[in-house]
Amino acid sequence: MSAPDPQPARRLKILVVEDDRPTLLLLTACIARMGHEARTAVNGLEAVKAVAEERPDIVIADLMMPVMDGLEATKRIKNLAGGQWLPVLVLTAKDEDRALVGALDCGADDYLVKPVGFPLLAAKVRGLAHMIELQRQLHDRSRELAAYRDGEERDTGVAVHVMSRLVNRDLLNDPALRHWICPARRFSGDLIAAARTPAGALHVLLADAAGHGLSAALNALPVAQCFYSMTAKGFAIGGIAEEMNRKIRHLLPIERFVAATLIAVDFRQQWVGVWNGGNPTLVALGAGGELLFAAPSRHLPLGLAADHLFTDGIDTYRYDEPCQLIACSDGLVEMPGAGGGMLGPEGLVSLLRAAAPEARLESVQACVRSAATVASPTDDISVAIVECGSLADASRAAALATGKVVRAEPGARQISLSAEELKYVVVAPLLLDLVRGVAGAEHHREKVFLILSELFNNALDHGLLRLDSRIKLEAGGFERYLELRSRGLERLAEAAIDIRIEIVRVSERPMLRIVFKDSGCGFDYANLLQAPPPATAPYGHGIPLLRKLCHSVEYRGSGSEAAVLYDLARSEAEG
């Protein structure tokens, strides 16, 4: 007799199913000798009941049995076992090949030919025990992983919450901007930000931080903060880019750069400025899809240029007709396009030109979604569309102003802006809407818009906020003026500007009559008209400009009411 058998690592419960009593007793003894616990059943039906009551670790079953044979029992036992593996070892007589194949097909894991020798049985049981152990470890690790992932999900949820507060996504409601970001993972390394300068110019930032996911999103944060605070102070985009470059360079490791497109739009002057470092070319498209202007990447992405090597050159463009600026990150351009390969910059422009202006964003989204059915995107995709001087934009902004534009009489339009509205309403599109609403003024749109802007700025800056233009003469004067204006506007309460515009006939000539009334206490207009500031001063050009453009300019009362007449019959040639 050999040395006592080594005890197994774990005592298993083994169910033995055998109708022949001596064999059953022998098997039970073998199992006990192996150090495991034996349970018994004399046919398949009993076996299935036993498994249902108390799940064993292994089942050893004879194939040929009355009531229910091993084959049927194996099937049912495997069914009961469900997701977790319950090994079944079948015992077969020498010439039962067909039955054996059947059992193996039903899920039996191994077999032994009777008469069963102890060494072989023990070896097979050891093998099965080992596999059971491996399976158990795998199951535990799965559970650990699931728990870890749940923890991660919770932490990520918190991070998303914090990020959205910091990046201030509510500021992206500017009527002139439409945008879309499609992150490759939960966090986007792409960021779009928009804000207005105190003067009402629109700044838009589209940034693509290297990499993607949470770490890339974190890299984009200092860029966003810088953008918002400097825009609020009225800095130009070249200066903002320079500061962002410095910040990234000093804050992050070299490989964490940020490709960025900065856009400035002055709706009043109909002027666009672009700084593009590392992003695909920005394009300006007309209503019919004409390519009006392109601003390719001329600079290193943010964070790479040493301070003295930083380049701040801006590409500029003046637009005469409504157009759209479209900027995007490389994720869009590198997306798979029709017919293999990438969409590419030309592919993107074709796609945009083929769509009507109001449907361009949807067209891009549809393209991205259909590409995603083929292969999931590997890079964040972001796109921003800025409306310059479009009528669609004007009506959206008018809606923002709570629809207070009133038709006083046929041909007359009136609007009253309260202090609250003056703070939040974006004025340029509103004025455009006013002009549009007056039939007969179509050909004079630009000039009338200019007149309205001048009158508005005078009413607000001087009438209500009492700002002194001479501040602009001092060093740093413009910045200070803008700052004062911003603060004054913030503090404004109990104030209003009323605007009325209508067509009248003066000596048989059709004229546009525009009246601005502000609730301030007026100014010494008589003095200003008598002794205007020198032509070289950086201020005071408003009233002379008005006088040049208008048939007449009149101030009434204390100066808080201005009325101008614009000659609609004058030809374009008169300038």
Partner 1 sequence: MHVNLRNTENTAVISLSGRFDFNVHRDFKRCSEAALQDGAGRAIEVDLGAVEYLDSSALGMLLLLREQAEVKRRSVALVNCRGPVKQILEVANFGRLFTIR
Interface contacts to partner 1, rule CB under 8 A? 208, 210-211, 254-257, 259, 277-280, 296-301, 304-305, 309, 330, 342, 379
Q: Strand, coil or helix: what is 99?
A: helix
Residue 376 or 536 having the CB closest to partner 1: 376
Joined together, the tokens standing for residue 545 give: 């400009």
Residues contacting residue 1 through CB under 8 Å, at least 6 positions apart: none
Please give the C-alpha separations between residue 224 and each of 299, 345, 510, in angstroms, as whole numbers: 19, 26, 50
Closest approach of Cβ 219 to partner 1, in Å?
A: 11
| Minimum CB distance to partner 1 smaller for 174 or for 380 | 380
> Among residues 8 and 238, whose Cβ is nearest to partner 1?
238
CB of 273 to partner 1, least distance (A): 19
Residue number with CB closer to partner 1 (3 or 254): 254
DSSP helix/strand/coil, 43? coil
Burial of 370 (0-12, 13-18, 19+ CB in 10 A): exposed
Tokens 């409504």, residue? 322
DSSP 265-307: EETTTTEEEEEEESSPPEEEEETT--EEEEE---SPPBT-S-G
Q: How far is the CB of 373 from partner 1 (least distance, A)?
A: 22
Phi and psi dihedrals of 340, rounded to 5? 70, 170
- Rounded least distance, CB 382 to partner 1, Å: 14
Closer residue to partner 1 in complex, CB, 281/390: 281
Number of Cβ within 10 Å of residue 564's Cβ equals 24
Shortest distance in whole angstroms from residue 292 CB to partner 1: 21
Q: Which residues contact 485 (CB under 8 A, 6 or more apart)?
A: 198, 199, 461, 465, 467
Task: Return the structure tokens found at 397.
Answer: 């902004």
Q: Report residue 272 as tokens.
A: 């666009």
Half-sphere exposure of 467 (CA within 13 A, CB side): 24
- How far is Cα 87 from Cα 108, in angstroms, rounded to an integer? 7
How many angstroms separate the Cα of 166 from the Cα of each of 160, 180, 342? 10, 19, 34
Q: For the CB of residue 351, give the shortest distance to partner 1 in the complex, in Å.
A: 19
Tell me the C-alpha distance between 345 and 348, whole Å.
5
Cβ proximity to partner 1: between 202 and 241 the closer is: 241
Q: What is the DSSP code string of 521-568?
A: ----HHHHHHSPPPTTSSS--HHHHHHHHSSEEEEETTTTEEEEEEET
H or E element at residue 500:
strand 496-506
CB-wise, 344 or 488, nearer to partner 1? 344
> How far is it, in rounded angstroms, from Cα 252 to Cα 569?
62
Least distance to partner 1, CB of residue 145, Å: 23
Distance in Å, CB of 453 to partner 1, minimum: 38
CB of 341 to partner 1, least distance (A): 9
C-beta closer to partner 1: residue 117 or 296 = 296
Provide the minimum distance between the beta carbon of 299 and partner 1 in the complex, in angstroms, as a whole number. Answer: 6
Cβ closer to partner 1: 309 or 535?
309
Q: Is the Cβ of residue 297 or residue 458 nearer to partner 1 in the bound state?
A: 297
